[in-house]
Structure 1
Amino acid sequence: MILGGLPFLQLDRTGVALLGAIALVGIGAVSPEAAVQALHLPTLILLFAFMVLSAQLRLGGFYAVVTRRLATLPLKPPLLLGALILGVAALSAVFSNDIVCLAVAPVLIDACRRRDLDPMPYLLALACAANIGSAVTLIGNPQNMLISATLRLSFGSYAREAIVPVLLGLLATWGIIVGQVRGRWIVPQAAGEAIPIRRAEEELPAFNPWQSAKGLAVAVALLGVFLFTPWPREVAALVGAGVLLTCRRLHSRHMLGLVDWELLVLFIGLFVVNHAFQHTGLATDAISGLAAAGVPLDQPVPLFAATVLLSNLVSNMPAVMLLLHTATHPQAGAILALASTLAGNLLLVGSIANLIVADAAARHGLRIDGRTHARVGIPVTLATLTIGAGWIGGWLALGTL
């Protein structure tokens, strides 16, 4: 997982996780029945259901039309950047941050070029805002879904805890990017003409008001269920996905084709491997050893630091799986969710959303490499983690009064 693949083999992290699970079953360390029982179905169901919801909105052209309207606002470039950051963060809080980046990036590049704006600061803002905004709810990203389903956190209580550090983090992101641009928002005409423009209209579905309205109605209904009813979130989300799949216009084949099956396979492999690892006792011994050395992971500060470190070593999902069983403190869920999500902006490979934006940029003649991303990602991550740690520390202090 640290390497991102196996040398000399065409495997990514998903392939590594799946191969690990297959190896464990193959050598008899985990029986097929135990492997199935290791899967956390509420998380998988919730993740699948929201992928279907995002597919509905993507096929309905909702993401594209929102991006175009944001990008054509009669605002000066710094204010336009702020509007983009808030808009992307709001979308990512309810829908998958990865899907938001996938749908928004090509439209954003096209819109920036129409206005002779340099797309680079806006693309970096897109990636950072999608990650930060997804931290404000328990459905904004996969690791938050896992934390929510495992610890059964209150949807409303978590949002109240996370909203302030997320908003401050978005403000810090805007300030950092504006400070780095230093007024150089406009692309020189010669440079702009040298890059071929690929029309986003050729890549994305046309806007369909009815299909978009259906997706938004289901999303609003689900938020209401999560906030005001005891109905299990995964069941409610699955029912919502079923409603959307029952459609006369959008074929289920097209909607299911937009489901990120690779991410679901990654989860399945990690659940099996993590189950086997926990039964070795190595994790318990390591936690006991750290506690004896004065680093108790069941306490807020060590848990926060361990989450940030592991999220950048093995990515945030495996990190959360490894640390979930130490989440006994009342604030452990919020710490895991905020720290693992905000840490994803540090490196280009730290978040799938970052890679999606970089890939979209490459297809349009722009290059976002590790160094380019780090110039924004490192200060943004340090600022947001500092804000998050300070806010959680304030909650802890109030709790002791």
Structure 2
Amino acid sequence: MPGLKTGRVDGETVLAFLIFAGTYFVIAIGKLPGFQLDRAGAALLGASLMVGAGVLSLEEAYRAIDLDTITLLLGMMIVVANLRLSGFFRLVSDFVVARARHPLLLLTAIVMVSGLLSAFLVNDTICLVMAPLVLDLVRRLERDPVPYLMSIPMASNVGSTATITGNPQNMMIGSFSHIPYGAFAAALWPVALVGLVSTIFFIAIAHRREFLTRSPLPEITPPQTRYHGPLILKAAAVTAVMMILFFAGQPVAKVAIVGGAFLLLTRKVKSDKVYREIDWPLLLMFVGLFIVVAGLEKVVITPDLVEAVARLDLGASAILSTITAVLSNIVSNVPAVLVLKPFVASSGDPQKAWLVVAMASTLAGNFTLVGSVANLIVAQKAKAQGVDLGFWSYFRIGAPLTLATLCFGVWWL
């Protein structure tokens, strides 16, 4: 029955590709037209169809889920939730930003705080925290909020390039590649640093009247803010210990989940407050995407296809960066990394290739306003307060910033 088997396999291949394409289409546009299906729901539906259609067995679907990535992301979300609830982020921003007495110094402070925090904590969360703080500050200073708000996601994207815990796609890459935390950071921190300086430069040049001035900022009374001192100390201490263990070579997923679980042991903060801070839809989307891509790999991404793609010389940083950046702007960076996984794993130097993918998929998020979730978070927060960032006002800074940082990243790696 060889003919029947070939027909079955061909039909299965077409079905797997259609499920994959449909899932990624919804993820790319954010929502299924005419329905209330969002990205997380699309990933779950696609995963269910892969199993329901027989492309993957239930056991294969379970094995496709990278539990290290899910565990790391969940642990970091709990840690960041505790830092946020304690008032840690407001304390840091008030301390640093309040000492900037000139518009350019204020911009530099916002970029460096956003970038540094995003280098060790999840960048999307940093944007969620920083956007309302910065908007409130610049309004009290009576400055144009647009360039300051744009600097938050740009700096967060760039800063998060530096470490495995900077953003979700780096967490996946850390799990796939088994690159040690310290080695990852050593390879990419110069890219992040140059990127942060470049962010300040491009924003300042694009808004000369705002930043290239001799006029100082007016004195303002700092807002009365309540902090939870003991929780700040506890959360900051746990975070510091986690970072030390990361650099010491301990498994990042284990360290993150133990640290997060320890922070749930408190008399003051109810656990459900922490749970409400966790991005459950993002975790669900990850689970679904792992299964969807596994289905595609099983019947579509054959050894022959991998070999054919390898002829594109993915070992060349410029080529791999370009492919990654373009794909990241089409379907977003997390799905792009999953699609590239089998091709990167088969390259001549997988570790270097993974570093290139981490760099390019993250920096590509600055190209347009819809290039990353971090951008959309700040745009939505701003719009809710009557401030429109605007696609083209973002693009005229984000596009040259992305190209400049990608070129440096390719040269550096």
TM-score by length of 1: 0.89
Residue pairs, 1:171-186, within 5 angstroms: 171-184=197-210
1:373 Cα deviation after fit: 1.7
Residue pairs, 1:215-364, within 5 angstroms: 215-229=235-249, 231-282=250-301, 284-292=303-311, 295-327=312-344, 328=347, 329=349, 330-364=351-385
> Do the aligned partners of residues 78 and 185 (structure 1) sit closer, same or farther apart at CA in structure 2, a change above 3 Å counting?
closer
TM-score by length of 2: 0.86
Residues 165 and 387 in structure 1, CA contact (< 8 A), matched pair in contact too: yes
Cα separation, 2, equivalents of 1:206 and 1:19: 43
Most deviating of 13-22 and 63-72: 63-72
Identity %: 38
Aligned to 1:28: 54
Residues 60 and 208 in structure 1, CA contact (< 8 A), matched pair in contact too: yes
1:289 Cα deviation after fit: 2.9
Q: Which amino acid aligns with 1:315?
A: S
Q: Which amino acid aligns with 2:364?
A: A
Residues 107 and 200 in structure 1, CA contact (< 8 A), matched pair in contact too: no
Residues 297 and 306 in structure 1, CA contact (< 8 A), matched pair in contact too: no
Residues 348 and 374 in structure 1, CA contact (< 8 A), matched pair in contact too: yes
Residue pairs, 1:1-400, within 5 angstroms: 1=24, 2-184=28-210, 206-229=226-249, 231-282=250-301, 284-292=303-311, 295-327=312-344, 328=347, 329=349, 330-392=351-413
1:336 Cα deviation after fit: 1.2
> Do the aligned partners of residues 158 and 291 (structure 1) sit closer, same or farther apart at CA in structure 2, a change above 3 Å counting?
closer
Cα separation, 2, equivalents of 1:82 and 1:287: 44
Q: Which amino acid aligns with 1:208?
A: H
1:75 Cα deviation after fit: 2.1
1:380 Cα deviation after fit: 1.2
1:4 Cα deviation after fit: 2.9
Aligned to 2:15: none
Encode CA deviations 1:157-207: one digit per residue, 9 max, x unaligned: 221111112111111111110001112369xxxxxxxxxxxx998xxx832
Q: How many residues align?
A: 374
Cα separation, 1, equivalents of 2:132 and 2:223: 6
Q: Which amino acid aligns with 2:273?
A: H
Encode CA deviations 1:4-41: one digit per residue, 9 max, x unaligned: 33222222222221211111122222222221111000
Residues 338 and 388 in structure 1, CA contact (< 8 A), matched pair in contact too: yes
1:331 Cα deviation after fit: 0.8
Instruction: Point out where structure 1 has 5 or more consecutive residues left out of the alignment.
Output: 187-198, 393-401
> Do the aligned partners of residues 391 and 349 (structure 1) sit closer, same or farther apart at CA in structure 2, a change above 3 Å counting?
same
Cα separation, 1, equivalents of 2:223 and 2:46: 39
Residues 89 and 134 in structure 1, CA contact (< 8 A), matched pair in contact too: yes
Residues 61 and 212 in structure 1, CA contact (< 8 A), matched pair in contact too: yes
Cα separation, 2, equivalents of 1:291 and 1:200: 57
1:300 Cα deviation after fit: 3.0
Cα separation, 1, equivalents of 2:276 and 2:67: 21
Most deviating of 96-105 and 7-16: 7-16
Cα separation, 2, equivalents of 1:37 and 1:207: 43
1:379 Cα deviation after fit: 1.4
Cα separation, 2, equivalents of 1:116 and 1:246: 42
Residues 72 and 111 in structure 1, CA contact (< 8 A), matched pair in contact too: no
> Do the aligned partners of residues 317 and 283 (structure 1) sit closer, same or farther apart at CA in structure 2, a change above 3 Å counting?
farther
> Do the aligned partners of residues 284 and 374 (structure 1) sit closer, same or farther apart at CA in structure 2, a change above 3 Å counting?
farther
Instruction: Point out where structure 2 has 5 or more consecutive residues left out of the alignment.
Output: 1-23, 213-221
Cα separation, 1, equivalents of 2:37 and 2:96: 38
1:326 Cα deviation after fit: 2.5
Residues 25 and 31 in structure 1, CA contact (< 8 A), matched pair in contact too: yes
> Do the aligned partners of residues 200 and 285 (structure 1) sit closer, same or farther apart at CA in structure 2, a change above 3 Å counting?
farther
Encode CA deviations 1:339-388: one digit per residue, 9 max, x unaligned: 11000111212111101100110111101232222122111111111111
